[in-house]
Amino acid sequence: MSGYHYELMPDPAEIVAPDYCDVWRTIIVDFLALPQGELTRIIDKWRDRMMERTPDGMSMFYHESAEYYVAPLLVPESLRTLTPYYFTRLCWKIYPVIGRYNRECKLDPSCFAAMRREIDRAIEEWVAKHYLSEQAHD
């Protein structure tokens, strides 16, 4: 990161992009049926990163999609003890599914059942292909 100096912007309300909050709210509150407080927790968790700026005013936070930041919430409880390496790679299989449903149907609740099936299938395939095969070699 040489040459980059970060400074915090004063008002977080100016930092959180509305489309990110919309995706997070839909996934957290509507899709996962978690309390609104979970949305606040996510925003608080990422607040400092959202406010960091490079000298040219860019935010590295927005380098990743909104779906990237909520994908970990869709990892089943039984897989939350994966090493960070495996956990991250599993999330990489989940967030593109959310992104596609966001593009295709704006995460409308009528798409939730199909999205859930596709996420579950992606998780099952990843576990069978990567995680279980690695466990067999240990």
- The 10s digit of each residue's pLDDT in 68-112 is 999 999 999 999 999 999 999 999 999 999 999 999 999 999 999
Q: What is the C-alpha separation between 59 and 79, in angstroms, rounded?
A: 31
Q: CB within 8 A of 106, min separation 6: which ones?
A: none
Number of Cβ within 10 Å of residue 111's Cβ equals 17
Number of Cβ within 10 Å of residue 42's Cβ equals 21
Give the pLDDT confidence score for residue 6 in this predicted structure.
Answer: 38
* More reliable by pLDDT, 89 or 7: 89
Give the pLDDT confidence score for residue 74 in this predicted structure.
Answer: 97
pLDDT in tens, 55-72: 887 778 888 999 999 999
Q: What is the C-alpha separation between 116 and 40, in angstroms, rounded?
A: 23
Residue whose entry in the numeric block shows the structure tokens 């919309």: 22
- Overall pTM > 0.75: yes
pLDDT level of residue 43 (50, 70, 90 thresholds): confident
